[in-house]
Amino acid sequence: MESNEYIQFFDGGLEPKLETLGGKGASLVTMTAAGMPVPPGFVVTTAEFDAFMAEAGITRHINELLGGLDPEDVAQVDKVSAAIREDICSRPVPEAIRAMTIQAYESLMSRFETPVPVAVRSSATAEDLPDASFAGQQDTYLWLEGIKAVTEHIRQCWASLYTSRAIIYRLKNNIPDEGLSMAVVVQKMVNSKVSGVAITMDPANGDRSKITIDSSYGVGEMVVSGQVTPDNIVLDKVTLALVSEHLGDKHAELVPDSTARALVEREVDAERRARRSLNDEEAKAVAQMAKRAEKHYKCPQDVEWALDADLPDGENLLLLQSRPETVHSSKPAVPTATSTGGYAAAFGATGTKAVSTTGSTPVAGSAPVAGFATSSTRSTGTASSAFSLGSITASLLKPSV
């Protein structure tokens, strides 16, 4: 199947456009074209969502409901959100566009010896913009098998354009609902043994000379939603030398269960919790990939990544998403003293104990690498985080969204 108005494969060769692919979809197509290691997939474009909404005839009514909303009246926003989402999910999808989605899914499955699980991820036209952060406001669904599950969750992604959180964010930031649309990413699910987030700066203070990595075991949903305290690693962006590290608790992981045919939460044993989830070489590889994304986009990036358990070491690092960092990227860099900050710490997570070490001291479970650890600060213990990005992954980590 070739890419067309309604379906665009990541490697389909068409120009990535925000208005048809949404922020996440456009990024994945762009990164694939740039040669980044992106799991294969396709985007159900905004043209399909727009055709569905036109057939349903509910766009005008939705805009009327949203027009008079007060973002401070959360109860009313919740009521309107629930009504809109139920209306969308109850409407039939026109058979012609449904058939194209089925054909695209079958074409993706034909690339593998046996059918593989996929992630279905929302990709709104207003997300992942340089001056806005929509992380966690729309839905992501992981480890889906079969076309029935995929098509059902595509429609749920469409409906998630009108979550209470997304509605309030748009109202408070004066983002109009007229013309707003939703694409949906369908992507091969990664069998993540380790995953997380890398930001090409220190989000605790905006220092652009650093790369900050949060990592934990299993699928990255537990990292981005704040359900576990991940390891935090800060590297020098130029030399990739270790600046600081914080050993997170990593008490649980999301892993596939072949019997349940779903992701299940599993406790991480004490030995794995006591060592870093990424070894030195893997941390450097994540940092290098994040630097490539930043160089391509020419601005600081927030990157979701995973190590695939089904691929050999050295070939198993995959890029799941890359979006502009929006908190500090418009401000000048502020170099500061070493901290045990990081993705979670920037939003409220705190460590409990710091241990200063001097000299080249290898981390448990990883071999020392020349130039990687010369003088560092290591923290251990658990952290309490109030930060939640909602249902992102992939995504996933996820996961913009």
Tracing tokens 């290591």 back to the chain, one arrives at 378
- Asked if 214 and 344 count as a contact pair (C-beta separation under 8 A), the reply is yes
pLDDT at 259: 83
Sign of the Cα pseudo-torsion (103, 108, 109, 113, in order): positive
Tracing tokens 């009327």 back to the chain, one arrives at 64
DSSP structure class, residue 112: S
Closest CA relative to residue 344, chosen from 244, 222, 236? 222
pLDDT at 192: 95
Read off the tokens for 9: 């494969």
Low pLDDT (below 50) residues in the chain: 128-130, 132, 134, 335-401
Is residue 355 within a helix (H) or strand (E), and if so which, with residue range? strand 353-358
pLDDT at 305: 97
- Asked if 341 and 205 count as a contact pair (C-beta separation under 8 A), the reply is yes
What CA–CA distances, in Å, run from 96 to 46, 93, 100? 15, 9, 7
pLDDT at 37: 96
Tracing tokens 């013309």 back to the chain, one arrives at 179
**Beta-sheet strands, E only, within 182-273:** 182-188, 192-199, 210-217, 231-236, 242-246, 252-257, 262-267
pTM: 0.77
pLDDT at 263: 92
Distance separating alpha carbons of residues 385 and 217, to the nearest angstrom:
18
Query: pLDDT digits over 240-294, tens only?
Result: 999 999 999 999 999 988 788 889 999 999 999 999 999 999 999 999 999 999 9
pLDDT at 330: 57
Read off the tokens for 379: 């923290």
Q: Are strands 242-246 and 252-257 parallel, antiparallel or unpaired?
A: unpaired
Distance separating alpha carbons of residues 119 and 340, to the nearest angstrom:
32
- Asked if 230 and 397 count as a contact pair (C-beta separation under 8 A), the reply is no
Tracing tokens 């939460």 back to the chain, one arrives at 265
CA-only gyration radius of the chain, Å: 21
